[in-house]
A and B are shown apart, each in its own frame.
Chain A
Amino acid sequence: MTIMQQENKRKFWQMPWGYPESITITAGIAYVGFVLQMAISDFNFYLLTSPVNLIVGALIVSLCLLTLTIRKSKFLKWFTSIPFSVCLIIALLILTLIMGLTPQTGTAPADRNFFTMLGFHNMTGSWPFILIYFTTLLSLGSLIVRRLAKFNIKDYGFYLNHLGLWLVLFAGGLGHADMERYIMHVREGEVEWRVYDDEGTVKELPIAIQLNDFDMEEYPPKLTIIDRTTGEPQPLSAPDYYQIDTKAPTGKLDGWELEMNEYIHQAVRNSDSTYREMPMPGSTPAAHITMTNPSTGETLTGWVCGGNRAQLYKSLELSEKYTVVMTVAEPKRFMSDIEVYTPDGTTKSAILEVNHPLRIKGWTIYQYGYDNAAGRLSSYSSMELVYDPWIVPVYIGFVMIAIGAIAMIVRGRSPNRKTLLTDNQREE
């Protein structure tokens, strides 16, 4: 290195700051986070419940807007610079990478070790994550304010992506504490307004749900050979299953050849142990099969049925040790015919099913579950009730990012980006 170069070289901490300072400061923020984590344990996100989050939010927005007054400062240029953004992105990457490798148990496990003291088991509630999150909100927010101050319509991709992301981070994070989620179990024919939170505490809601009917459709089940004493499907190393399919009525199970002669999806048992079709809540799938052992030529024919609370199962015995059984049918659809009441007299009725929730008065009601052991015969239906007042800004953010992403796909790395490049180089 020549003397000239040495003289021109910027010293550490001498403005304008670049990567060395950005890395140091980002690491410093994370370090403070880890120290806080060890000293006072998890950040309690529910401290941010309304109106605290509104105040914090207003503070963040004002801080970002206030940077307009120091537009020319070298500090602000660094704070909104690419090196600092890259460092924050990498910091988020590392923290979430740790999160992806550590089971997120939420509460600290009984055996406290170094990693749990650093908050790895509950990353989103740990201080390093929170501090990096708030720094990102401030840095990204200030950058958006700075760029909006010299608005140029050609930069629409930049505005959409950055403002959209900021909105999602802002509303998603700060709004988290205001979100309410409860589970309600309603018995058929009854009205319910008591719900359970995730700790099992009972609460009464200003919403009542009446369950008129719970119904379920099932896929055809599978057939397999099990050991009659242990119940283990055979062969033990890699069990064979035959998926019932009337278009493919043959299969192989543990060396036996299977042929399905008849399949009834909703069957009831006759007095002579045969089955007939009868669509009703207590019906069960039943298959009439022929099993052939190719090595011995032995052939067995009979009915196999999965059974439920209303009907006994039926298996086809192959030997003293093995028997053919039907698996529990997998649900295809399950739905609740409900009526929802609110105190002001609004009522709504709907068929609730997975992927088709019902919205009423700021609440969203989801089909959640049923009595798994009873299956179709479940006498109750479980629903999840979600109240999420910050969803609107998040979705606005989603729309903005989506348009920005489409712009990225259509334009690729556009020449417009290069003006940004020269702009930033000028600032360096």
Chain B
Amino acid sequence: MNWDTFIWFALPAMILWACAGIVVYRKKSKVLADILMITGISIYTLFIIGFWINIERPPLRTMGETRLWYSFFLAVIGYVTYRRWKYPWLLSFSALVASVFICINLFKPEIHSKNLMPALQSIWFIPHVTSYILSYAMFGAATVGAFVQLRKINRKGLSDKKIFDLLDNLVYVGFGFLVLGMLMGCVWAKEAWGHYWSWDPKETWAFVTSMAYLAYIHLRLQGKKYEKTALWLLPVALILLLVTWIGVNYLPSAQGSIHVY
């Protein structure tokens, strides 16, 4: 399995997820939504496993490969949190965003060579990247939830406590993974480059992103007072996160970054 055969797995997965995202709104079709979603995820997983075996290294290096995982985690986390919190929009939105990232991979795959440079050959490589992508998926879902909550506040003048519980949990878990990803990166950097933090552009932006989520966490400790400010912080933080993840490669200030592949 390689990028040429990707479409034969991606297309069925996307169609199944789309169907799941639609039927989940019908009260009688909850089980059907479960089956559709799980089948879609299984097909997608099958591709990742085959792809991994084929390229003889973990598919975590290129942008296209990290997007592959992002779609996967978003679908899985969207489904699991939907089962936990019972919000159908969680399932539809995560299915939609996962599909968007699959489409980017279909149309702009950015296929690079199989070669893994010496600095990337480390036991920290897989946990470092997966931890980040996991947290990105959580933060993506939290951003969608923030808009749902803002709409509720604007319409009813009151926030939904259950949604805030979900948002706070998503951000706490996402932040936990973000911090773990950063720490593993630090230890790895010390092993590979001699220092745990060098303010490389990617590191700087990761710091900026983590500060934004840290501000959200602290604002939320003050109860109802700064609800709207906290909610608006989530989309802002996601933009910073996207710069960290994708944008850094295009920033003039980041030319010469050791994180650009």
- A residues with CB within 8 A of B: 82, 85-86, 89-90, 92-93, 96-97, 99-104, 124, 172, 179, 181, 219, 222, 243, 245, 330-334, 353-357, 364, 366, 384, 386, 388, 391, 394, 398, 401-402, 404-409, 411-413, 417, 420-421, 424-425
Contacts and interface: CB of A to CB of B under 8 A. Distances in A.
Interface of B: 113-119, 121-122, 165, 168-169, 172-173, 175-177, 179-180, 183, 186-188, 190-197, 199, 201, 204-205, 207-208, 211-212, 214-215, 218-223, 240, 243, 251-255
B199 A330 contact: no
B194 A366 contact: yes
B194 A364 contact: yes
Contacts of B115: 219, 330, 332
B-side interface mostly: helix
Given A82-B219, A104-B253, A412-B173, 16 more contacts: A82-B221, A86-B218, A89-B215, A92-B211, A100-B254, A172-B197, A179-B195, A353-B118, A354-B192, A355-B191, A355-B192, A357-B194, A366-B192, A407-B176, A412-B172, A413-B165
A331 B218 CA distance: 46
B121 A405 contact: no
B252 A413 contact: no
Contacts of A100: 201, 204-205, 208, 243, 251, 253-254
Contacts of A421: 221-223
A-side interface mostly: helix
B194 to A, nearest CB: 4
* Most chain B beta-carbon contacts within 10 A, residue among A101, A366, A408: A408
B191 A357 contact: yes
8 contacts: A100-B253, A222-B113, A355-B192, A366-B194, A405-B179, A405-B183, A411-B172, A417-B221
Given A355-B121, A364-B194, A408-B175, A402 B183 contact: yes
Contacts of A334: 118
Contacts of A330: 113, 115, 117
Contacts of B169: 412-413
* Most chain B beta-carbon contacts within 10 A, residue among A82, A334, A388: A82
Contacts of B212: 93
Contact of A386 (B122, B176, B194, B240): B194
Contacts of A104: 199, 253
Contacts of A402: 179-180, 183
Contacts of B252: 103
Contacts of A412: 168-169, 172-173
B168 A99 contact: no
A93 to B, nearest CB: 4
Please give me the 10 A-B residue pairs with the lowest Cβ-Cβ distance, nearest first.
A409-B176, A408-B176, A412-B169, A93-B211, A354-B118, A413-B168, A405-B179, A405-B176, A219-B115, A100-B204
Contacts of A408: 172-173, 175-176, 179
A404 B207 CA distance: 18
B203 to A, nearest CB: 9
Contacts of B199: 99, 104, 124
B211 A96 contact: yes
A331 B204 contact: no
A331 B183 CA distance: 27
Contacts of B218: 82, 85-86, 89
